[in-house]
């Protein structure tokens, strides 16, 4: 059985690492993209922020069916306010603060809230807890993209830095 607290805490860890990646980007070059047609570093960071916020917003509002023609519009309407000229520091701060607030809202929900079924945009039926796990997995995928972009810029991602530090200083 998956516990809500585990999902929330592991999501916070994933998000913190994504925010750190934004802060670690050399020169705050949010427009960096390794090839034409790929999302830029900043677009990925914004996507992480917007998607997690909008999807959990829909869950908290009790929306049970995301397989509707209005799905994209529903997401857009629930996007957090991100200034168009937000620099890396501002974007990293928003990544951290928005999840902290959302996690508190999610913690206040009764246990049966997470057992309720919902329909994803692709027709898949899952519980709200499973949906929350999917949102975290989606974000983890995009965090990996940020890490790859950092590697292309010669930066070692925070997760690797932690592992290397632990090897140097075993407990």
Once rounded to an integer, what is the mean pLDDT over residues 8-16?
96
- Please report, for the domain that includes residue 11, its CATH number: 1.20.120.450
Return the pLDDT at 145.
97
Confidence band for 1, pLDDT divided at 50, 70 and 90: confident
Return the pLDDT at 171.
67
Return the pLDDT at 170.
77
Return the pLDDT at 26.
92
Number of structural domains, the chain?
Answer: 1
User: Residue 116: pLDDT above 90?
Assistant: yes
> Which range of residues forms the domain containing residue 144?
4-168
Task: Let me know the angle formed at the C-alpha of 139 by 74 and 111, rounded to the nearest 5 degrees.
Answer: 70
Condensed to tens digits (0 to 9), the pLDDT of residues 14-54 reads 999 999 999 999 998 999 999 999 999 999 999 999 999 99
CB-based burial, 32-62: b 16+ in 10 Å, e otherwise: bbeeeeeeebbebbbebbbbbbbbbbbbbee
Once rounded to an integer, what is the mean pLDDT over residues 137-146?
97
């Amino acid at each position: 059985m998956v516990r809500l607290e585990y999902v929330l805490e592991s999501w916070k860890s994933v998000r913190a690492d994504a925010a750190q990646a934004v802060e670690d980007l050399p020169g705050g070059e949010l427009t960096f993209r390794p090839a034409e047609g790929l999302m830029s570093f900043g677009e990925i960071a914004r996507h992480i922020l917007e998607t997690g916020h909008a999807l959990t917003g829909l869950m908290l509002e009790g929306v049970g069916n995301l397989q509707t023609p209005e799905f994209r519009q529903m997401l857009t309407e629930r996007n957090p306010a991100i200034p168009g000229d937000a620099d890396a520091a501002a974007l990293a701060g928003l990544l951290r603060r928005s999840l902290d607030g959302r996690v508190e809202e999610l913690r206040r929900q009764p246990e049966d809230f997470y057992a309720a079924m919902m329909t994803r945009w692709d027709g898949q039926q899952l519980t709200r807890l499973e949906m929350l796990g999917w949102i975290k997995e989606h974000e983890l995928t995009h965090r990996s993209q940020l890490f790859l972009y950092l590697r292309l810029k010669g930066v070692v991602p925070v997760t690797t830095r932690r592992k290397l530090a632990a090897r140097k200083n075993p407990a």
